[in-house]
Chains A and B, each alone.
Chain A
Amino acid sequence: MASSSKTEQKKMLILKSSEEEEFEIEESIAVQSGTIKNMVEDDFTLIPLPNVDTETLIKIIKYMKKHGEKTKSNEKDIEEFDKEFVKKSFTELKELVLAANYLHITSLIDLLCQAFADRIKNKSVKAIREIFGIPNDFTPEEEAEVYEQHKWAHEEGKEHIDHSAY
């Protein structure tokens, strides 16, 4: 009674967020993550991700699903998706890039880092500190010295500098 079914049963995995919520996903899509791929090779099917919260995991799954169906013809479509995907707050982007880094999804890390770069390049120094949560550890004299070294970079075209931290 050998019957080979036309549609093979696709191997599914379960990803578990830090808040213990579970999500089913095709293995072929999930292995876009290097971390998950390694665990699959060690025969795991339930993959706990204690570093990734539910909200972020949902977004990441959405990304992997879209990029999992990449073909020669839908490149433009995926580009549009990527463009929309990064239209998020800095906080969300931070969560995403930390998770993408932990999960080793190279294309997503590239996309997110580029989105950060594009958005911060004209920001003021103060805005940068706020966005990244970096305290200023220069004394006023020290900071003035660093400022002087590249004064032109600060002064020329300063009307284009963006002071908002969003």
Chain B
Amino acid sequence: MKESIPPNPQSNLCKGKRVVKHLEKIKQMDLQEEIIMDILSRLPVRSLLRFKCVSKFWMTLISQPYFTTKHFNHAKNNQSFQKMLLLNKEYSFHCSSLSSDQLFEDIQRLDRPCSGELWGWKIHCCYDGLAIIGVRNYPDNDFILLLWNLSTRESVVLPNPKFSQEVTCTWGLGYDSTSDDYKILKINGKERNEVLALKSSFWRKLDNHPTGDNCALSDMDYLAFRHGALDCLDTSSNMGCLAFVHGAFHWIDSLLNHSMVMFSISNEVYGEIPLPEGLDLVFDIMHSKQGVSVLGGMLCVYSTRIHHREYTFKLWVMNEYGVKESWNQLFTIESTDLYSITPKYMFSDGEVLLRCSQLRRSGSVFKTSNESSGVWPQSDSECIQDGFVYTESLISPKLLTWY
């Protein structure tokens, strides 16, 4: 049993006086850099933007890419950093925090990026706290594509795709770890699939999926409307976006009956993921629809079917990516008026946030899967069209695109 002799016994004897002085210094000392960084990485983005003014050191600390990554790694697993972006009828944006007891908290109006004579705002897709937004210019009606960080409100204009941004195309944004770059995929079928790697400055046309129809039919409201199945169409209604998870984009294709298409972001190759047993794809546009999404980091598939004026919504989650047997049907919702339901987010307790469209009413309503209310406070003039859940992040669109 050794008596305690700390390492370097000799130096300790000599340093006796120095130890005392050192202690006094610690009391006055600032907290070490690593502790400050730990504390800061737990703060909401807005606080961090304000705290850039504290000192030059804090400004540098908060602005460095290493800190952005550290902060985001903490935020993405933390429910208090998840927020909702809501688009309403007049194309105005709101953001709010998500909480499972009262759904939306602390609702704030959000200024649109680069205002001016712009209209027809549409959120194409959202990932890592970044949104891809399409907007039109007045009076030329030119399309403008924007990359927008919803937490820092920084935005950049992206190059326009080769093929025009029609209503029927579907978008996805994902991160490619191989090239350390974000890529945007735009699916439009008919030889018009294209991809933009943010570090490059141009869109590249892609080959079609070999057997598929190449139309991402995530949401068929538009087609249903065209065929008279819907009384009205919210012009900015969500056409769905490509589900990005496990390094690939996913969507349902009308020509593939038992699987969904997947497109790997790094090697840009098409593949297929089997659909659950018990899901038969239906493409008759009378309110039957299906789609792919991501919940709690897992691929999920949902469908709405109509039978004798009753709508049945089903949701499956793939517990083990790529394994057909791991599809698990989470729940079913039956109603007489919810003709379009899209899952948006899974809370840590397993409850699912759903966006619902009702017959004879425009706009959307948000519900949770256990039927508790917590609906967006609606008045007739402010109808919510759609919403996206995003994670707070400091990721800078300007740093991702150098042009």
Contact = CB atoms under 8 A, between A and B. Distances in A.
Interface of A: 14, 16, 18, 39, 42-48, 50-51, 53, 94-95, 97-98, 101, 109, 113-114, 116-117, 120-122, 125, 128-129, 132-138, 143, 146-147, 149-150, 152-154, 156-157
A128 B43 contact: no
B50 interface: yes
A94 B27 CA distance: 9
A117 B43 contact: yes
B30 interface: yes
A153 B38 contact: no
B54 A121 contact: no
B31 A153 contact: no
A18 B24 CA distance: 11
Interface in B327-381: none
A128 B51 contact: yes
Interface residues of B, number: 41
B38 to A, nearest CB: 4
Given A116-B39, A134-B58, 10 more contacts: A46-B4, A51-B26, A101-B35, A125-B53, A129-B55, A132-B54, A134-B57, A138-B53, A146-B52, A153-B50
A45 B1 contact: yes
B6 A48 contact: yes
Contacts of B38: 109, 113
Interface of B: 1-6, 19, 22-23, 26-28, 30-32, 34-36, 38-40, 42-44, 46-47, 49-59, 108, 111, 152-153
Contacts of B36: 132
B42 A128 contact: no
A109 B37 CA distance: 12
A47 B55 contact: no
The 8 closest A-B pairs by CB, nearest first: A46-B4, A117-B42, A150-B49, A153-B49, A113-B38, A121-B47, A116-B39, A44-B4
Given A125-B54, A143-B53, A113 B39 contact: yes
Given A45-B1, A156-B108, A18 B23 contact: yes
Contacts of B26: 51, 98
A136 B57 CA distance: 10
24 contacts: A18-B23, A44-B5, A45-B1, A45-B4, A46-B4, A48-B4, A51-B23, A97-B31, A98-B26, A98-B35, A120-B39, A122-B47, A125-B51, A129-B55, A132-B54, A133-B28, A136-B55, A137-B55, A138-B55, A146-B52, A146-B53, A146-B59, A150-B50, A152-B111
